Structures are given as C-alpha cells and as structure tokens.
C-alpha cells in the first residue's frame, strides 16, 4: 500500500500528522482515550499504546485513573526528559472543581497524580451553563499557562453560545473544543462555528463507542471490505480526512495498532460522501445543556 503521507514534513510515530493550533502548539491528530478503564487496568493500556506509537493520551480527573496513567508514564520514562517532550498529555478539570481556588487545588493534585511537571492541554470538561463558572475558572487556567505548567487551554462540550460567552469574559478562544462527533452525530453547526473562530475540533466517541461500526445498513462494512481494512479504520480515516483530531479508546493492543494505522489508504470522494450522509439526530453521550460530570 502506498503511504500517502510519506511526504509530510514532520509527523509523530506511525505517520500521525500534527495539527497546528491557534496558540502555535502542535498536537498529534490521533490520541488514546482512557475513559472507562480503572486505575490499575489503565497502566498496561497506556504502556501498549506508547509501544504502538501513540504520542497523545486523553485523560481527565473524572475518569478516576490519573494515578494509573502517571504510573504508566513513570514506568516507561514518558514523564520526563526528551520522551516527555515527544508526548502530548491532556487532562481535564472536574465540573465540581470549577472556580478559581478549587481549580488551582485540583490542578496541583492532578499534576502530582500524573507524575509530570506540566500537561500539554488542560480542559474544562463541561460548560454547565446552569452553574456557569468558566470565565472565573479560566483565570486559573491562564495562570497555569503563564507558570509553564500547561501549554494549551481547551474546552469540551461547548456549544457556540458557550464559546461566545467564554470569549466575552476572557477575550480568548480556546485552542480546542472536544465534542461528541461521529458519522451518525456530526454537529455540523458546532464544527462550522469552531472553524470560523480558529478553534480545532477534537472528536470524542469517534466511533459512537462502537455503535457506528454498523452504521448505515452495512455502508461502513462495504467500504471496509473494498479497502481490506476494518470498519473502525474506515470511520477513523473519515475523521482524519475531515481534519478532525481523534481520541479512540481501546484496551486491546491489536485494536490500538489498527486505530493508528490510517495512512495507507484513502476514501474515494463517493465513500467519504456516503459517510457524510449517515448524519442523524441521536447522540451517544450526554447533552451539554443539562449534563454535569461531577
């Protein structure tokens, strides 16, 4: 198979491209998500991902496994020195810890659990518009960045009205908005707003937690068969071609490798359009207007 990315000037391992953000930092387009893996279980999962070539880990305080991620980074040497510099590490603040003082305490704790001096990205996990404290919390985030303990500031689950409100209060657009995004839930209005304001889009649940592997009455399976790849690779390749950052989760080493191996084939325009046409009205996760992940 031809490697269509061979001429890219600089990539992370496994030919994963970097996406340049509005703050100038560069994030590997594929990361490993670690939601719903317990604190002991996450250690071998992160280790196998690093061995496979992942250089981007997407975690959160709310996943209750930061200590395990930290143990994996320490055991593999990715928590310091040159190896640390090669890794993009994201974590998120719990909704219950939003607010200036509580965010400062939470962040210190999180760096300790992760056993690192800095994280590459710190994110607001949910906008909680019914208890809005994002502007106040951002003041602490801004300080972490000035202190050199965070490189990039991001948000998750923000709708345009929340991005607008944050911008009004802080004068800043976040570098990334991490949102639920997969073939059957494409959130085109949110994506368009982000693009217009220079905010990179990061897809969580990029395969709808696995449900989209069977989407479109066999559409994904037919495209997969045509290329000799898996359904997961077809969906993830579609995201890559859209320029979206993705953070698929798998606890299995073989699937982790598969989810990274997306640069030896390309969708035809018709195949890409067939996946575009799978957009639908049903999310797999929660509604940002009402949900809080305490």
> Is the distance from CB of 231 to CB of 220 less than 8 angstroms?
yes
What binding mask, one character per residue, do residues 138-157 give for ligand NAP by CB under 6 A, x or -? Answer: ------------------xx
Binds ligand NAP by CB under 6 A, chosen from 69, 124, 258, 262:
258
Total residues in contact with ligand NAP, by rule CB under 6 A: 28
Measured between alpha carbons, how far is 186 from 180 in angstroms, rounded to an integer? 8
Closest residue to ligand NAP, judged by C-beta, is: 33
Annotated active-site residue in 18, 54, 63, 193 = 63
Please indicate if the annotation marks 252 as binding a ligand: no
Q: Is 26 in the site for ligand NAP (CB under 6 A)?
A: no
What residue spans of the chain are helical by DSSP H? 42-52, 66-76, 81-85, 100-114, 134-146, 160-170, 188-196, 219-227, 231-241, 253-260, 269-276
Closer residue to ligand NAP in complex, CB, 209/272: 209
Q: Is 128 in the site for ligand NAP (CB under 6 A)?
A: no
CA of residue 183 relative to chain centroid, distance: 16
Q: Which strand (E) or helix (H) includes residue 202?
A: strand 200-204
Measured between alpha carbons, how far is 66 from 283 in angstroms, rounded to an integer? 27
Residue 122 bears catalytic tag: no
Of the candidates 179, 154, 161, the residue with the CA atom closest to the CA atom of residue 284: 179
Least separation in angstroms between residue 7's CB and ligand NAP is 27
Q: Is 290 in the site for ligand NAP (CB under 6 A)?
A: no
Binds ligand NAP by CB under 6 A, chosen from 71, 140, 259, 263:
259
Measured between alpha carbons, how far is 76 from 47 in angstroms, rounded to an integer? 7
Closer residue to ligand NAP in complex, CB, 147/238: 238
Least separation in angstroms between residue 72's CB and ligand NAP is 15
Closer residue to ligand NAP in complex, CB, 17/288: 288
CB count within 10 Å of CB 197 equals: 15
Extract the annotated binding site for substrate: 125
Which residues are annotated as catalytic? 63
């Amino acid at each position: 198979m031809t490697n269509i990315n061979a001429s890219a000037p600089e990539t992370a391992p496994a030919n994963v491209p970097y996406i340049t953000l509005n703050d100038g930092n560069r994030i590997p387009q594929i990361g490993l998500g670690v939601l719903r893996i317990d604190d002991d279980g996450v250690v071998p999962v992160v280790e196998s991902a690093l061995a496979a070539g992942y250089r981007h880990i997407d975690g959160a305080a709310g996943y209750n496994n930061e200590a395990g991620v930290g143990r994996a980074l320490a055991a593999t040497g990715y928590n310091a020195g040159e190896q640390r510099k090669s890794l993009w590490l994201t974590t998120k603040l719990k909704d219950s810890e939003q607010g200036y003082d509580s965010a400062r305490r939470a962040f210190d704790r999180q760096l300790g659990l992760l056993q690192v001096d800095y994280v590459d990205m710190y994110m607001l996990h949910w906008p909680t518009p019914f208890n809005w404290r994002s502007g106040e919390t951002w003041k602490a985030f801004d300080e972490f960045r000035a202190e050199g303990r965070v490189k990039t500031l991001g948000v998750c689950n923000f709708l345009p009205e929340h991005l607008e409100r944050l911008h009004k209060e802080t004068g800043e657009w976040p570098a990334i908005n991490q949102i639920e995004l997969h073939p059957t839930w494409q959130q085109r209005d949110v994506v368009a707003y982000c693009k217009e304001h220079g905010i990179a889009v990061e897809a969580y649940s990029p395969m709808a937690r696995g449900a989209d592997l069977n989407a479109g009455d066999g559409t994904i399976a037919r495209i997969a068969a045509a290329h000799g790849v898996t359904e997961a690779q077809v969906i993830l390749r579609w995201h890559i071609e859209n320029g979206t950052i993705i953070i698929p989760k798998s606890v299995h080493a073989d699937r982790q490798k598969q989810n990274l191996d997306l640069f030896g084939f390309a969708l035809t325009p018709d195949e890409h359009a067939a996946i575009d046409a799978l957009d639908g009205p049903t999310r797999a996760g929660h509604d940002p207007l009402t949900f809080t992940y305490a």
